[in-house]
Amino acid sequence: MQLPEPYFSRGFKPAVFVLALLPLALLGWGVWHDTLGANPIETITRSLGEWGLRFLLLTLLLSTLRRQIGWGQGLRLRRMLGLFAFFYGTLHLLSYLWLDQFFDWPEIGYDILERPFITVGMLAFVLMVPLAATSFKAAIRRLGRDWQRLHRLIYPLSLLGVLHFWWLADSKARTDMPLVYTVLLLALLGERLWQWRQQRQRQQR
């Protein structure tokens, strides 16, 4: 039975919000009960970054689902999931700065310059900041059409996020999940390129 639209919306969005906090709660539980393995700092940092990337890819997937199967409800979650991507990305960065480097700024600066996956990760976070800062209705109204142009940064941001994870996983000899994220991202970008070409052809006709 199909639920009425308002009822579905009221119950669905808060449930997704709670589920989006579950990874953080599980990490906290792991810290409290000491179940994060031999290197808990690495586990925390990697998990936070990976969840940030997952939420970023989910925001792209929602638009694809609307176009391909007509599921428009997902668009109501897009802004919230994008902010969760920024939330987990920020925690990922803070865990690196604090738990891994203890705010040793000279060492952090050396890492950024000399370790490519750190460089790419920092650049990805820089691109996330304006997207998160303009994800509110007041910013959308103020920027007008420029808002849409600005939020196309999600494409290079997603590429940098996947590349960051590839290089990080390669340094740890783990390349299974980065491959999954790469295939998903290429599929999402390919769908958008196909849609753009279809639109161009219609305009030319």
In the 3-class helix/strand/coil scheme, how is the chain assigned residue by residue? CCCCHHHHHHHHHHHHHHHHHHHHHHHHHHHHHCCCCCCHHHHHHHHHHHHHHHHHHHHHHHHHHHHHHCCHHHHHHHHHHHHHHHHHHHHHHHHHHHHHCCCCHHHHHHHHHHCHHHHHHHHHHHHHHHHHHCCCHHHHHHHCHHHHHHHHHHHHHHHHHHHHHHHHHHHCCCCHHHHHHHHHHHHHHHHHHHHHHHHHHHHHC
Mean pLDDT of 148-154: 90
- Average pLDDT in the 187-198 region? 88
Tell me the pLDDT band of 54, cut-offs 50, 70 and 90. Answer: very high
Domain count, the chain: 1
Contact present, 157 and 122 (Cβ < 8 Å): no
The whole-number pLDDT of residue 9 equals 62
- The mean per-residue pLDDT over the stretch 108-133 comes to 93
The whole-number average pLDDT for the span 180-201 is 88
Radius of gyration in angstroms for the set of CA atoms belonging to the chain, rounded to a whole number: 19
Confirm if 49 and 88 have CB atoms less than 8 A apart.
yes
CA atoms within a 13 Å half-sphere pointing along the CA-CB vector of 138: 1
* Domain region containing 89: 5-204
What pLDDT sits at residue 1? 38
Spatial distance between the Cα atoms of 50 and 97, rounded to a whole number of angstroms: 17
What mean pLDDT value characterizes the chain? Answer: 87
- What's the one-letter identity of residue 85? A
The CA–CA distances, whole Å, from 180 to 12, 157, 183, 186, 199 equal 27, 17, 5, 10, 29
> Residue 24 sits in a domain of what CATH number?
1.20.120
Whether pLDDT at 142 is above 60:
yes
Q: pLDDT category, 55, cuts 50, 70, 90?
A: very high
Q: How confident is residue 172, by pLDDT bands cut at 50, 70 and 90?
A: low
